């Protein structure tokens, strides 16, 4: 699978003296995880149910770890528990 945003990211993080804000560092952690998953061949597989995440969803949210069903379930739970 060709992932067009990885090259972009590597260029950005390789920039010396770049200050990373908290929100961005969270995102970078997620992206690093995605890159590890790509290397391990686990990219695009839902962490909850182990099924493939749809290509459309990966295009919209490349760093997602969950398929749309599990993500929706989690968001509903988060709302219910008030997090
Ligand atoms: Zn799932």
The model's pLDDT over 24-45, given as tens digits with 9 standing for 90+, comes to: 888 899 999 999 999 999 999 9
> Mean of the per-residue pLDDT values for the chain?
84
pLDDT value for 47: 93
Cα–ligand 1 centroid distance for 51 (angstroms) = 6
pTM score, whole prediction: 0.62
Q: Name the 3-class secondary structure at 62.
A: coil
Q: How far is the CA of 65 from the centre of ligand 1 (A)?
A: 9
Ligand 1 centroid–CA 20 distance in Å is 31
Residue 21 to residue 8: CA distance in whole angstroms = 18
Residue carrying the six token digits 């200050």: 19
> What pLDDT shows up at residue 60?
93
Distance CA(54)–CA(79), nearest Å, equals 24
Q: What is the pLDDT of residue 11?
A: 56
The alpha carbon of 24 and the centre of ligand 1 are apart by a number of angstroms equal to 25
In the chain, which ranges are E strands? none
């Amino acid at each position: 699978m060709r992932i067009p945003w990885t090259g972009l990211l590597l260029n950005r993080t390789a920039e010396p003296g770049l200050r990373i804000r908290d929100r961005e560092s969270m995102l970078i952690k997620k992206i690093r995880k995605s890159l590890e998953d790509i290397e391990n061949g686990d990219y695009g597989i839902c962490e909850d149910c182990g099924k493939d995440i749809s290509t459309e969803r990966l295009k919209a949210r490349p760093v997602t770890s969950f398929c749309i069903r599990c993500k929706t379930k989690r968001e509903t739970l988060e709302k219910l528990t008030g997090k």
